[in-house]
Amino acid sequence: MLVEHDAPLAPLTTLRLGGPARRLVTATTDEEIVETVRAADAAGEPLLVIGGGSNLVIGDAGFDGTVLRIATRGFALDGTLLELAAGEVWADAVARTVDEGLAGIEFLAGIPGSAGATPVQNVGAYGQEVAETITEVVAYDRVRYETVTLTGADCAFSYRHSRFKADPERHVVLRVRFRLTDAGGQSSPIKYAEVARTLGVEANRSVDLRTAHDTVLKLRAGKGMVLDPEDHDTWSAGSFFTNPILTDTQYRAFQDRLGEVTAPAFPAGDGRTKTSAAWLIDHAGFGKGHGSGPATLSTKHTLALTNRGAATTEDLLALAREVRDGVRAAFGVELVNEPVMVGVAL
Ligand SMILES: Cc1cc2nc3c(=O)[nH]c(=O)nc-3n(C[C@H](O)[C@H](O)[C@H](O)COP(=O)(O)OP(=O)(O)OC[C@H]3O[C@@H](n4cnc5c(N)ncnc54)[C@H](O)[C@@H]3O)c2cc1C
């Protein structure tokens, strides 16, 4: 177990932002994770768990407590059942399941970060989300002081949300179990129109697994959504805002504002409608590359807020507030941040 003091956190995040941790512990076994959490809790010490740092906005003042970096490894396949240690690199694990000819997470290719963080915000992309395949999450429960196994239903997954995100002080994920599908080398049915269009097939058809995986990677790279240290468009936390889900009343008010213009709209259950945050940002006047300071919108995707190299967290938040306020003024819709804020708020 590696313990460092006054350790910079910015290099551990994909935004490369944030001040130092008073104490940084890197854990490579489940036992080290549990031991570190128990010791911090017993001492009443603030604790921040980080995996790949790809969904975190850490304040410039850093974190006055213990930061626990999860660096466990483990990829175990038993038939179609997959168990990943929390610290496994997610994108590598996805590629390995494709090599094994198993479908279920192939459209989640190229998403940065760790396996243990995927249940936290129910990671999803291109018509697939981990809620569809997670059967169990093994976690240390900081209220019961023991390791527990939660079923997929216990995780209360919804769009970019789960019980882990709702109650972040309670569970530290140790292992995640998935049930994949052996479809003879074929992918899951394609649900995302852009993927179907790119492959020249109809929606709900399957294609060769490797083709599905590689197509998603290519689409993501074109939007700056695959990490590349040389490309500042990928110095981001991915999508900065979630797609707004509007109640019937909110949706009607939104339509009144739009007049003759048509915005993307998808049914989101219970009479609610999901619209596109990227569309709102763009149509509120914030195009690709917007901003002249050290933090700007990505030149490839309006939804990604990026550090051009010399930004501070405050620079990024100023840009985020400008975009959020501009969308509210133009459309009356409130954008909500997707990344987890540490020591700061929008
Ligand atoms: C270029 C880019 C593209 C992205 N594309 C997508 C996308 O398509 N879809 C999508 O859903 N997300 C996307 N993201 C966001 C991000 O990659 C995911 O949310 C990812 O799962 C975060 O993993 P991480 O290990 O980096 O988590 P971190 O950023 O380290 O942590 C995120 C949160 O999870 C908590 N956490 C981390 N590990 C654990 C654990 N073991 N136990 C308990 N809590 C934990 C942290 O405390 C924090 O609250 C993207 C990000 C980037 C930079």
Asked whether 18 lines ligand 1 (CB < 6 A), one says: no
Q: Is 59 in the pocket of ligand 1 (CB under 6 A)?
A: no
Which ligand 1 atom is the nearest neighbour of the CA of 173? 42
The position carrying tokens 């700056």 is 224
Q: What is the pLDDT of residues 207-227, one digit of tens each?
A: 999 999 999 999 999 999 999
Which residue type, as a one-letter code, is found at position 122? N
Q: How far is CA 229 from the centre of its chain?
A: 18
pLDDT tens, position by position, 166-220: 999 999 999 999 999 999 999 999 999 999 999 999 999 999 999 999 999 999 9
* Domains (range + CATH), the chain: 2-70 (3.30.43.10), 75-222 (3.30.465.10), 232-342 (3.90.78.10)
Tell me, what's the pLDDT at 61? 98
Q: pLDDT band for position 93 (50/70/90)?
A: very high
Ligand 1 lined by 115 (C-beta under 6 Å): no
Tell me, using a 6 A CB cutoff, whether residue 46 lines ligand 1.
no
The DSSP string of 285-319 is: T--TT--SSSEEE-SS-TT-EEE-SS--HHHHHHH
pLDDT attached to residue 331:
95
pLDDT band at 56 (very low <50, low <70, confident <90, very high): very high
Residues 96-113 have a mean pLDDT of: 98
- pLDDT number for residue 319: 98
The pLDDT of residue 111: 98
* C-alpha 51 to ligand 1 mean position (Å): 7
Residue having the nearest C-alpha atom to atom 17 of ligand 1: 112
Catalytic machinery residues: 160, 239, 338
What's residue 59's pLDDT? 98
**Using a 6 Å cutoff on CB, does residue 62 contact ligand 1?**
no
Q: Which amino acid is at 53?
A: G
Q: Give SS3 for 153.
A: helix
What is the distance between the alpha carbons of residues 151 and 26, in angstroms, rounded to a whole number? 27
Q: Pairing between strand 56-58 and 340-342?
A: parallel
For CA atoms 36, 37, 38, 42, the dihedral sign is positive
| pTM, rounded to two decimals | 0.95
Determine the Cα–Cα distance for residues 187 and 101; give it in Å rounded to an integer: 9
How many angstroms separate the alpha carbon of residue 252 from the centre of ligand 1? 33
Ligand 1 pocket, mutate which of 12, 111, 161, 227 (most atoms under 8 A from CB): 111
Mean predicted confidence (pLDDT) in 42-59? 98
